[in-house]
Amino acid sequence: MRLRQRGTEWAATAVLFASSAFGGDWLTFGHDPQRSGWAIEETRLNPENVSALRLQWKTPVANQFSVLSALTAPVVAATGNRSVVYVAGSSGTVFALDAQTGEALWSRALRSMAIPRKGGLQGTFLCPNGITATPVIDKETGILYVTAADGALYGLDLATGRIRYGPVLFVAPFAKSWSLNLYEGTVYTTVSLGCGGGRPGLYAVDIRNPHQPTVREILLSDNFTAGIWGRGGAIIGKNGKIYGGTSDGESDPRHGDYSNSLVAISQKDLSVADYFLPVNWPYLKKKDLDMASASPVWFTWNGRNLIAQSSKEGVLRLLDADSLGGKDHQTPLFTARVGNEKDECCQGVGVWGALSSSRDSQGETWVYVPLGGPPAPNAPKFPITNGDNVHGSIMAFRVESDPRTGSPILEPAWISGDFNRPDPAVIANGVIFALSNGENADQHGGESKRFLNTSAAVLKALDAKTGKELFNSGTAMTSWVHFSGIAVADGRVYAVDHDSNVYCFGLGDASTGTSTSQTLATAKNAGENALSRSWVEGTLNQDEILANWIKRAVVTSSVAVLAAIVGLWAGFRSMRKASQS
């Protein structure tokens, strides 16, 4: 029986990775390590057909929300004949759903080896004692990495949910960690707020050898408040640096305190390579307008590495990613007030979530900003407007050259109509997708009030050139959502809500939900018992060798070689049965 289970797992893995990589993937929050939000592979959706989007399926999963937290943003792995959507729940379970039908393929509950302490922030919306970091997919190895509530990093088989890596203690138990990122064999996350006693900073684990995991960290402050809590976690540039905005504290870079800053950390040794400290940082600290509320975005323009950044303060900045703030660490390339002219800290105004960036077919580079609340009276004037936006909007800027200095600047292009608190924008083939999340963002008066005066989230699609609304999901979603994100892959858009529903919007009629895969359904049963290992498995060296051969064959996409290996594997099994009898 055990041999059949393992054989089924290999077969499911082979099916899952037989297609060419990255054809319709959304492997991490914001699509890529730079958190661009740009679904560069998307070709099915476009401004001409996006109005035909329909709710394809809605699948509730067995997850209990923890205060404001429920499901992580979805990630997606595509195959030649199927895609799979993965979400992690705040109560500790990871779910895999068929992307076409919404059918549950497998689930994996991650056992907690610790109990959260009581008091302080623990158990509040700031420290919800559950899974908070969006998982990341390693397509090359077929592993989904996720951080459990007790701080352990797990690697789950994409096809079956079987534990293939860890658990390895990564961050403090019940820490508030943010979206995982994966780059060159290392998984990264950030920690904030001192939840679970975890010190704020950047954490990294080398996953290349599962038997010798190397966990490293850099602490960015001596207090517990100055963490990186942007939704994207660690933003990884292609220039050897990792970026993030930090929150409140007594800034003192000379003594290692990088509060209220945008920091650049060396990938090589996790040392602070550079930083930008706003001139008005004492005021930001006093008013709780820290730099961490929105993740920056890293991109290139005319051969230069750039960072666009904003936060609760409602000030938009463009910085040189190779020299943050110039020689004095306090001079951005461009700055503009876009919102929150009253400097309110805790009512959802200003910029939250994450910025996004893409390059269009004409070679122009764009930056998209999700602003909560109305634009500031002195905000840049947009040549194209799309109606009232008192609750929030998506703002679009083109990166252009300053005619006087030649330095890059952000030129306003358009502003959307109203979003009742916008989540980060996703760009796909000339279309902007974003959620109007419907949450009550007012932090005054206690947590219970956050559940009042909410509205159901709405998915909107906008023309990337003008901001004109092309699609509105109306009442298709039935609950609000807090601190989430969407994924776009292979002509479909995926979202979640606070009631632990997963949604899929696509072209054409709604799915009948009857399409199944016998291979993955059988693999589900194998994955559920993967932790119950017997001594027999330890003797199956042939199985391990053949599994590695299958993976290599898949990477090279050689169907002929794969077929031959499957036949060879069947032969080994026959010989084993004969010898045992």
* Nearest CA-CA partner of 139 in 59, 191, 75, 192: 75
pTM: 0.85
pLDDT digits (tens, 9 = 90+) for 93-149: 999 999 999 999 999 999 887 888 877 889 999 999 999 999 999 999 999 999 999
CA Rg, the chain, in Å? 24
pLDDT digits (tens, 9 = 90+) for 246-297: 999 899 999 999 999 999 999 999 999 999 999 999 999 999 999 999 999 9
Work out the number of other CB atoms within 10 angstroms of the CB of residue 163. 17
Q: Which two tokens stand for residue 546?
A: 């053949």
pLDDT at position 139, please?
95
pLDDT digits (tens, 9 = 90+) for 51-108: 999 999 999 999 999 999 999 999 999 865 789 999 999 999 999 999 999 999 999 9
pLDDT at position 570, please?
52
Instruction: Let me know: does 295 contact 483? Beta carbons within 8 Å.
Output: no
**575 burial level (CB within 10 Å; 0-12, 13-18, 19+):** exposed
Mean pLDDT value of segment 562-571? 48
| Predicted confidence (pLDDT) at residue 571 exceeds the cutoff of 70 | no
Instruction: Let me know: does 291 contact 247? Beta carbons within 8 Å.
Output: yes
Q: Any idea which of 113-127, 276-290, 361-375, 433-447 has the lowest mean pLDDT? A: 113-127
pLDDT at position 275, please?
98
pLDDT at position 222, please?
83
pLDDT at position 80, please?
56
Mean pLDDT value of segment 198-211? 95
pLDDT at position 224, please?
81
pLDDT at position 24, please?
80
pLDDT at position 567, please?
52
Instruction: Let me know: does 339 contact 379? Beta carbons within 8 Å.
Output: yes
pLDDT at position 528, please?
37
Instruction: Let me know: does 215 contact 204? Beta carbons within 8 Å.
Output: yes
Task: Give the whole-angstrom CA distance, residue 86 versus residue 81.
Answer: 17
pLDDT digits (tens, 9 = 90+) for 292-310: 999 999 999 999 999 999 9
Evaluated on CA atoms 193, 199, 202, 206, the torsion sign reads negative
Q: Is the peptide bond before 33 cis (omega within 30 degrees of 0)?
A: no
Strands (E), 392-441: 392-401, 408-415, 426-428, 431-436
pLDDT digits (tens, 9 = 90+) for 161-175: 999 999 999 999 999
pLDDT at position 393, please?
98
Average pLDDT, the chain: 87
Mean pLDDT value of segment 453-479? 98
| Predicted confidence (pLDDT) at residue 19 exceeds the cutoff of 80 | no
pLDDT at position 36, please?
98
pLDDT at position 174, please?
96
Task: Give the whole-angstrom CA distance, residue 581 versus residue 574.
Answer: 11
Q: Which two tokens stand for residue 272?
A: 């602070």
CB crowding 183-211: b at 16 or more within 10 Å, else e: beebbbbbbbbbbbebbbbbbbbebeeee
Residue for token pair 């679904």: 39
Task: Give the whole-angstrom CA distance, residue 365 versus residue 307.
Answer: 12
pLDDT interval class at 561 (50, 70, 90) = very low
pLDDT digits (tens, 9 = 90+) for 502-554: 999 999 866 544 333 333 333 333 333 333 322 223 322 333 333 443 344 43
